[in-house]
């Protein structure tokens, strides 16, 4: 009965995180470029068995892989993955809107000098004419729009040009670069639609739009979120029912323990 309480408690904790993750997906369903997340679960029974074999082969090992003693039971959260399924392109016809049609990220420079990565969106200009991400961070390598530059054009290969108001001809300004990762689902989400790399995602692999393994640039479009309303609602109902089932186990175990405590000879 005590094991039943622990099993139910781990199930409730895991499903609580599942509900919160699905709720965040639904809240950002209309956020351009948003990528939904999914909770992956793991059985503590299997993890305990693996840790038990490690204890037998390594004397002195006292705890399993999850911080519980080996032989633990229940469920744990293995990971919360970001799913980079492509979203539907939405045409805006605004010259500063762009999306990456395929794999790849734009690199931006954060205020502390660190690197972050974006799937595109609505670009901005600062006072010096530098192109910024939708969160207001400069692109890397930097691109500057000269004073008097009009009708910015971003080609599919990432080359950027503007029409000079003085001479009327087009001026090539630079080239957008893309990066990709060996394990893109391990990227850590940040604010403003940015992502941060880590050891699990691997180092950024640089390239240009249109190269093998990299997408192309679509100007005048933004990428819709990849959240599907029906799928999220079904997942939410399943998570709520699983949480309720675990709560019922706690209630039943408590009633059985109360009956055992009230037994008399």
Number of other residues whose CB lies within 10 A of the CB of residue 258: 9
Would you say residue 156 has pLDDT above 60? Answer: yes
| Whole-angstrom distance, CA of residue 43 vs CA of residue 141 | 45
pLDDT of res. 70: 42
Would you say residue 68 has pLDDT above 70? Answer: no
**pLDDT, tens only, 99-145:** 999 999 999 999 999 999 999 999 999 989 899 998 899 999 999 98
Of the candidates 245, 258, 232, the one whose C-alpha atom is nearest the C-alpha of residue 21 is 232
Stretch 60-70: mean pLDDT: 39
pLDDT band at 150 (very low <50, low <70, confident <90, very high): confident
| Whole-angstrom distance, CA of residue 180 vs CA of residue 203 | 9
pLDDT of res. 1: 60
Domain ranges of the chain: 2-84+227-261, 89-223
pLDDT averaged over every residue in the chain: 86
User: Whole-prediction pTM value?
Assistant: 0.79
Specify the range with the lowest mean pLDDT, choosing from 54-68, 80-94, 201-215: 54-68
* For the ranges 63-67, 68-72, 151-155, the one whose mean pLDDT is highest: 151-155
Whether residue 65 contacts residue 51, with contact meaning beta carbons closer than 8 Å, is answered with yes
pLDDT band at 69 (very low <50, low <70, confident <90, very high): very low
Q: What percent of the chain has pLDDT over 90?
A: 63
Stretch 164-186: mean pLDDT: 87
C-alpha pair distances (Å), 231 with each of 18, 224, 237:
14, 16, 10
Would you say residue 211 has pLDDT above 80? Answer: yes
> What DSSP character marks residue 141?
S
Residue 205, classed as helix, strand or coil, is strand
Stretch 246-264: mean pLDDT: 86
Per-residue DSSP letters for 67-99? SSPTT--SEEEEEEEEP-PPPPEEE---TTEEE
Residue 236, classed as helix, strand or coil, is helix
Which tokens in the block code for residue 230? 């029906």
Number of other residues whose CB lies within 10 A of the CB of residue 174: 15
Backbone angles phi, psi at 23, to 5 degrees: -65, -40
Would you say residue 263 has pLDDT above 90? Answer: no
């Amino acid at each position: 009965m005590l094991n039943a309480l622990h099993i139910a408690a781990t199930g409730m904790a895991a499903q609580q995180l599942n509900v919160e993750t699905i709720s965040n997906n639904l809240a950002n369903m209309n956020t351009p470029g948003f990528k939904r997340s999914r909770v992956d679960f793991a059985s503590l029974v299997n993890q305990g068995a693996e840790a038990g074999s490690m204890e037998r082969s390594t004397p002195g090992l006292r705890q399993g892989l999850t911080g519980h003693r080996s032989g633990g039971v229940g469920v744990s959260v293995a990971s919360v993955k970001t799913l980079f399924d492509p979203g539907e392109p939405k045409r805006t016809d605004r010259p500063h809107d762009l999306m990456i049609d395929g794999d790849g990220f734009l690199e931006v420079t954060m205020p502390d000098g660190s690197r972050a990565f974006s799937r595109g969106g609505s670009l901005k200009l600062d006072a010096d004419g530098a192109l910024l991400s939708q969160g207001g961070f400069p692109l890397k390598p930097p691109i500057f729009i000269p004073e008097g530059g009009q009708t910015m054009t971003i080609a599919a290969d990432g080359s950027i040009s503007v029409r000079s108001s003085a001479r009327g001809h087009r001026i090539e300004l630079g080239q957008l670069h893309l990066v990709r990762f060996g394990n893109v689902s391990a990227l850590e989400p940040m604010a403003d639609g940015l992502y941060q790399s880590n050891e699990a995602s691997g180092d950024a692999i640089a390239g240009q739009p249109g190269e093998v393994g990299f997408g192309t640039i679509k100007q005048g479009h933004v990428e819709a979120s990849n959240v599907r309303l029906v799928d999220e609602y079904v997942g939410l109902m399943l998570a709520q029912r699983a949480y309720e089932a675990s709560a019922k186990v706690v209630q039943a175990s408590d009633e059985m323990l109360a009956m055992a405590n009230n037994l008399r000879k």
